[in-house]
Amino acid sequence: MKKLNVGLVGTGRLGMMYADFLANRVPAANLAAVADLVPERAKSCAEKFDVPRWYVGHQDLNDDKGLDAVIVTATTVNHKEIVIDAARKGKPVFCEKPLSLNLADAREIKSVIREAGVFFQMGHMRRFDKGFAAAKREIEAGAIGSPCVFRGSSRDPYRPSLEYLAPESSGGQILDMAIHDIDIARWYMGEIKSVYAVGGILAYPEIEQVGDTDNVVMVLTFANGRLGEIDISRNGVYGYDIRAEVLGSGGAVQAGYLRDTPITLLTKAGVNHDVVPYFPERFADAYVNQLIDFLENLIHDKTPMITLDDGIAGLQVAVAATDSLHKNRIVQVADY
Amino acid sequence: MKKLNVGLVGTGRLGMMYADFLANRVPAANLAAVADLVPERAKSCAEKFDVPRWYVGHQDLNDDKGLDAVIVTATTVNHKEIVIDAARKGKPVFCEKPLSLNLADAREIKSVIREAGVFFQMGHMRRFDKGFAAAKREIEAGAIGSPCVFRGSSRDPYRPSLEYLAPESSGGQILDMAIHDIDIARWYMGEIKSVYAVGGILAYPEIEQVGDTDNVVMVLTFANGRLGEIDISRNGVYGYDIRAEVLGSGGAVQAGYLRDTPITLLTKAGVNHDVVPYFPERFADAYVNQLIDFLENLIHDKTPMITLDDGIAGLQVAVAATDSLHKNRIVQVADY
Amino acid sequence: MKKLNVGLVGTGRLGMMYADFLANRVPAANLAAVADLVPERAKSCAEKFDVPRWYVGHQDLNDDKGLDAVIVTATTVNHKEIVIDAARKGKPVFCEKPLSLNLADAREIKSVIREAGVFFQMGHMRRFDKGFAAAKREIEAGAIGSPCVFRGSSRDPYRPSLEYLAPESSGGQILDMAIHDIDIARWYMGEIKSVYAVGGILAYPEIEQVGDTDNVVMVLTFANGRLGEIDISRNGVYGYDIRAEVLGSGGAVQAGYLRDTPITLLTKAGVNHDVVPYFPERFADAYVNQLIDFLENLIHDKTPMITLDDGIAGLQVAVAATDSLHKNRIVQVADY
Amino acid sequence: MKKLNVGLVGTGRLGMMYADFLANRVPAANLAAVADLVPERAKSCAEKFDVPRWYVGHQDLNDDKGLDAVIVTATTVNHKEIVIDAARKGKPVFCEKPLSLNLADAREIKSVIREAGVFFQMGHMRRFDKGFAAAKREIEAGAIGSPCVFRGSSRDPYRPSLEYLAPESSGGQILDMAIHDIDIARWYMGEIKSVYAVGGILAYPEIEQVGDTDNVVMVLTFANGRLGEIDISRNGVYGYDIRAEVLGSGGAVQAGYLRDTPITLLTKAGVNHDVVPYFPERFADAYVNQLIDFLENLIHDKTPMITLDDGIAGLQVAVAATDSLHKNRIVQVADY
């Protein structure tokens, strides 16, 4: 089997998951180098997964002639610099969502990528989840007739640290969470034309310190006249609850929340079952599938399902929705 | 057991259901008279349920000295005239939702009811459904912490006749359908402050002829800062799908769609079960419970759970949402 | 509507439910008389449901010329005497399961019924349940191919009184509980040829005092070669759990346990829902449907779905299974 | 990380899955050699998973000094010869279920293993499944009180080839399928004392040619007085349906069938979802967990959860049940 040497930039929580997948579950990947701004993190990741080389910062990794591709799981504020550097050095790039924290950066990335002519694939693992993909197939196959209304719901099981939540680094709740629902909405329904978002601090009063929200609901209208709703929450305390539903003229398809085990406990307290705890349990296979797909596209020179333009278009909706939230008005996505 | 003699005005589809319940399943009711503008309908209803007296139009029924209460299931446009006439004649009144098609009528009803000093109970059967009531109890008991986000969904299994849909008689899709979700939202969450609704004709192009929509989604903000979403549809072709969910700071409660039978069929085509077909199957017990409650309140002089003010408040939100839909702007409920 | 005057013998727990249904939910029934060995019970039942006449014991009721039919919900040990007396007096009879506590009595009932030429309908309400009936329709329609294996499960939510459990009056756990599963097994699969039952006292040690079991499992073979399993338990402490499943050559159909409300509660403790608490909640509609069917058969001179022969055949299997349990051997139903 | 060099004997369908897991998902394993009686199979497996050495037959592999352990996934009839040869050559052994086709072979294996003093671990992957393990934890934690009744169900989605089914190689349906349910029954409930099994050819008449059954049901009694039922079928045509349930004095726990995706499709044809298709999808993680556990036990010198004695005890019940099936009588497990 042909293997590619890949380098991974960013070895935080998600980066460590990626390292594990690249080392153990993606047959075409040879994890040849890792990099992190914190030397100890890069080093310990390399040791844990038997990675031959590790670097501090992305530049030396991007310079590494032995690498066939670069995978970016660094914090979002650094995406632009890393991706642009990799592209200028001719490296094919896979970049985790969101592409960047603002549209100016996203558009700058695009112009450099186009100039450099390198391969780029945007990361949105939900499209590679067995469930979300099966729903897409049903919609495409006409099983629900013509799609009319989209409902997406993303609930995290607990509040991240306030440091993480600060909009300077996370981009705010919509960019951090709803970007996934927006990507799925675009995939299932078409382009989004306008959006109205309202939010609040309803579960964790301390979030006020960093100026973010813990719950947001929004209404979408699509360019084709279809309708949508998205709600996101930091207080899905019962588990990691990710749902999507499309109601069409001939039926509906739901991608419901996933149980962690098929165990049901029946006692005087009622009937009880569990919910998958968080994204590593929920989407591990999707991340692996996505990495397999990335390497396959690279090896066989195929266009990725999720392009840079998808990354920018989703970001544009998220930025517009964030602005709607702040200004309490209906906004047109095209104005951003 | 003390029995009250009740008169029923309006013997259409819902009126016939009420007649059946009053005749057979509400022990405290003695269905003593029915009335309808169409003589044959009144007569055949009386014959079917062994009702001693039948009238054409509401006035003679309201004049009937043998009646202890009047129940109004006539078409909404006639509610004002019937209720006001009954009130002036001293009759306690139960009136089906929606109270009227506009706020002026609703407020006129209120002033007459207050003047006449008669008992009035507003009909919203969902609050008497075992499921919706159980969810309310969980919320009240603090099982989900502090409520944050409401999601309501109402889907009818097929398109009613265009004649029925005409906004002159139905009040439009929001007044006809979402009035229920709005009532439940107010019950679970508190008063609604602002609303933004968007809709479209996405499943039944012929609806354009009467100027209504077949799908509407809306975002709500509550006076206490909480958030909400409602989606309503005429094309829930797979069954009558009525759901409500409240996400709180400590958990969530869902009142999911109801199956018609607990039968599961497992074949090569997959695993299959049914959905309750429509409102008579879904809410028969709720209607009966509501009528039992009405007579109980009357006999024991108790304040009803759903008052005239609830009827007006819900209508106000529905009227505001309809205006939002038509003008494509965020509206404040207090402005209506 | 043609109404029949019915008399009810036995006003215990189930008899009171029947009285309520006959008085309020069975349009063709006019509950004209009730009887019980305990005068206070007969009297208070008559008062509660406005029944014109009440008797002590069954004989005066069976003599009542104003009655068109007799419904027997007395304790099983008295079935034979009541049914035979009613039959000899020319009354059509409906009798609750089980027909009697032994086959000699059952066969004596049969010979008297045949001689008297009166109408007789056996009570097994599960066949009139929406769910069990829908499963039957699927099987008949060939939805699961040729039936291969039956699995039935009946779990009561708590232990009845020891007095109730005493085999002298209940017939033992199999006659009391599994008679229902046996009836459904025969209905779905065909006649039962042999049976092997094992049981134990596993949850309530005090049952030893009365010589009964609290859990029994049994294996069935049908005359057509098909296979079956039944398990019954007194300790379904989480609710009233009644299930049946048929696996066929082309699929399976399950009549699963029923939830009491469609409410799901999602908290850190997991996802929680309820189970229907006991038979009055689970089978109220089935009992009503069965009484409606009985009167309909009587009025229109139709053969009932569940005949006296069905009552005897089911009892024969239950008696055989009880013998298998006591003697710990495989038994042939035809030997009883 | 310490890695062990493992050799795999048998590269049929299951062997290929094991090779994949050992090569890609078990970090402590270095798949260093494979063997098969069919040279092409051994060779192509080695090529597919970059295995350095391949052999024809087990002897050369067992002789390979570079191997730290041998994993046996060969056809059952060859288990004895392979395991004994490996043990005599001092190799630790992991052996897939069933241990052998008869008890004489199993006991001979035991005496050689004991003599050679090598480590042995029996394969029963269900115990390593997240669901079955969670149910075990609930039972151990007392969540259902004292266990009373076990129900196990195993349904394959289609008939294997007649060649595979021939009892000479498969051991018959009970040894091939119910061995898993028996292992779980012993794990949850305790040792099995007696069994009565009945079976038939109800879905695939052609099975008569090889003298096997396609459906079997059995009743178990445990040494501690508890009760059990198992049903197995070759015609679970709707998917791979593996269930276990334990009813206790304080509740019940169910390990229900698993869906393949969390997708629900709602159309006029009803509500539809899928079932996991077969064992590779259902139990892939369990197989991986089991192999991880095996190497962990070997490295850290720990006693395996499933011992050789477990393998023999399960087999003894399966052999007894098969004899019960053939002779149509209740059998005592201790007699085998």
Which residue among D239, D259, D271 places its CB closest to the CB of B238? D271
The CATH number linked to D157 is 3.30.360.10
- In this complex, do D203 and C237 lie within 8 Å of one another by their Cβ atoms? no
Closest CA–CA distance from residue D269 to any residue of chain A (Å): 9
> Is residue C172 located within the same domain as residue C112?
no
Task: Write out the DSSP string of C259-310.
Answer: -SSSEEEEETTEEEE----SHHHHHHHHHHHHHHHHHHHHHHTPPPSS-HHH
Cβ of residue A272 closer than 8 Å to a chain D Cβ: no
For A300-314, the pLDDT digits (tens) are 999 999 999 999 999
Among B66-70, B104-108, D25-29, D177-181, the minimum mean pLDDT is found in D25-29
Segment A5-18, tens digit of pLDDT? 999 999 999 999 99
Q: How many beta-carbon pairs under 8 angstroms link A with B?
A: 126
Q: Is residue C304 part of a domain?
A: no
CA distance C102 to chain B (A): 34
Q: D113 and D156 share a domain?
A: no
Q: Are residues B78 and B15 in the same domain?
A: yes
Residues C159 and C257 in one domain: yes
Residue written as token pair 């993909």: A133
Of C228, C220, C245, C244, nearest to C316 (Cα)? C220
Nearest-Cα distance to chain B for D159, in Å, is 14
Quote the ipTM score.
Answer: 0.95
Residue B165 three-state SS: helix
Of the candidates D92, D118, D144, which is a domain's last residue? Answer: D118
Q: Are residues A12 and A114 in the same domain?
A: yes
Q: Which residues of chain B have pLDDT under 50?
A: none
Model confidence over D216-246: pLDDT tens digits? Answer: 999 999 999 999 999 999 999 999 999 999 9
**Residue B304 within a domain:** no
Q: Is residue A56 part of a domain?
A: yes
Same domain? B142 vs B256: yes
Out of C238, C239, C267, name the one closest to residue A238 (CB).
C267
Phi/psi region, residue A142 (left: phi>0; alpha: psi -120 to 50; beta: rest), is: left
Of C238, C268, C273, Cβ closest to residue A238? C268
pLDDT value, residue C106? 98
- pLDDT per residue as tens digits for the range C190-213: 999 999 999 999 999 999 999 999
| D332 has pLDDT over 70 | yes
pLDDT value for A135: 97
- The verdict on A28 and A149 lying in the same domain is no
Is residue B105, in this structure, part of any structural domain at all?
yes
Gap between the Cα atoms of D99 and D79, Å rounded: 7
C251 → chain B, closest CA residue: B267
Interface residue D246 vs chain A (CB under 8 A): no
Residue C307 belongs to a domain: no
- Give first-to-last CA distance, chain D, whole Å: 45
Query: Touching check for A203 and chain B: CB below 8 Å?
Result: yes
Report which of D309, D331, D127, D150 is spatially closest to residue D228, judged by C-alpha positions: D150
Whether residues C262 and C156 fall in one domain: yes
User: Last residue of a domain, which of D78, D94, D118?
Assistant: D118
> Are B202 and A226 inside 8 Å of each other by CB?
yes
Domain-embedded: residue C291: no
Domain residue limits at B168 = 130-283+314-335
In a domain, B111, yes or no: yes
Tokens at C279, concatenated: 């038979």
Instruction: Average pLDDT across each block of 10 residues of chain A; the chain has 336 residues. List them in order.
Output: 92 96 93 98 96 97 98 96 98 97 98 98 97 97 97 97 93 97 98 98 98 98 98 97 97 91 92 94 96 97 97 98 98 98
For A214, B167, B222, B265, the CA distances from B219, given in Å and listed in that order, are 17, 22, 10, 38
> Nearest 5°: phi and psi at D216?
-135, 140
Mean of the pLDDT values across residues D43-47? Answer: 97
Residues C138 and C272 in one domain: yes
Question: Is the residue at B260 inside a domain?
Answer: yes
Q: Which chains touch D (3 or more CB pairs under 8 A)?
A: A, B, C
Chains contacting B (3 or more CB pairs within 8 Å): A, C, D
Choosing from C81, C99, C118, the residue where a domain stops is C118
**C324, closest residue in chain D (CA to CA):** D330
Distance separating alpha carbons of residues A171 and A212, to the nearest angstrom: 9
Calpha distance A182→A240 (Å, rounded): 18
C252/D238 Cβ within 8 A: yes
> Given the DSSP bridges, would you call strands D227-233 and D215-222 parallel, antiparallel or unpaired?
antiparallel
Max alpha carbon distance in chain A (Å)? 66
Which pLDDT value is given to residue C71?
98
Residue of C nearest to D199 (CA): C227
List CB contacts (< 8 A) between C266 and chain A. 238-239, 241, 275
Instruction: Report the CATH number that the domain containing residue C17 is assigned in CATH.
Output: 3.40.50.720
Using CA atoms, how far residue A158 sits from A152, A166, A214, A235, C55, in Å, is 19, 16, 10, 6, 67
Average of per-residue pLDDT across D246-253: 97
Query: Do B114 and B136 share a structural domain?
Result: no
Give contacts of A 47-86 with B, CB under 8 A. Answer: none
Name the residue in chain B with its Cα closest to that of C130.
B261
Q: Does residue D113 sit in the same domain as residue D205?
A: no
Judged by a CB distance cut-off of 8 A, whether residue A135 touches chain D is yes
Facing residues of A252 across strands? Answer: A247, D266
C265 at the B interface (CB within 8 A)?
A: yes
Q: How many domains does chain C have?
A: 2
Q: What does chain C come to in residues?
A: 336
Q: Give yes or no: residues D319 and D179 share one domain.
A: yes
